[in-house]
Amino acid sequence: MHPDTTAGLPAPARGAVAIITNRRGELLLHLRDDLPGIAWPNHWSVLGGGCDPDEMPRAAIVRELDEEAALAVADLTELFEVRDELGSGQLITFFAASWDGDESALALAEGVKLQFFSPEHLGILTIPPFIRTGIHRYLADWAA
């Protein structure tokens, strides 16, 4: 039985996001659209989104990276899960990957822009709490 399924109750909605870093240790962040009805409008986040019905998180993040930015990464690693308690309520699987390209050359299909940020600049950005939690957990694990 899947760990998120209890007797007779459907599994909670799921999603997947990717923390993408370059060789300088910067993180690729995505400025979300400022539209009514979307989760976390006008916030900096990592690329990702919800899982389609019966879609596993790994397949979802590969699809989302392609759909949102025409981005394919070779070293996708599953990290951990964090629930978006204050937003969608989804259980989000975090992945990590590296990519050293020019973010301005990516074909952005959703949102306002993509930009690499050094970890010390994250404190001044408006980032959803569950994403900030995931990034801090990733950075702490990476530094250990």
Q: For 92-144, write each residue's pLDDT tens digit.
A: 999 999 999 999 999 999 999 999 999 999 999 999 999 999 999 999 987 66
Q: Is residue 80 part of a domain?
A: yes
Q: Are strands 91-98 and 14-21 parallel, antiparallel or unpaired?
A: parallel
How does residue 12 score in pLDDT terms, banded at 50, 70 and 90? low
In a domain, 139, yes or no: yes
Per residue in 22-52, pLDDT (tens digit) is 999 999 999 999 998 888 999 999 999 999 9
Domain membership of residue 58 (yes or no) is yes
Residue 88 lies in a domain: yes
Site of tokens 């969608």: 88
User: Is 92 within the bounds of a domain?
Assistant: yes
| pLDDT at residue number 87 | 86
Domain coverage including residue 95: 14-143
Is residue 1 one of the residues assigned to a domain? no
- Would 21 be classed as within a structural domain? yes
Q: What is the CATH number of the domain that holds 116?
A: 3.90.79.10
Burial class (CB in 10 A: 0-12, 13-18, 19+), 9: exposed
With respect to residue 3, please indicate whether it lies within any of the assigned structural domains.
no
Count up the domains in the chain and report the number. 1
* Model-wide pTM > 0.85: yes
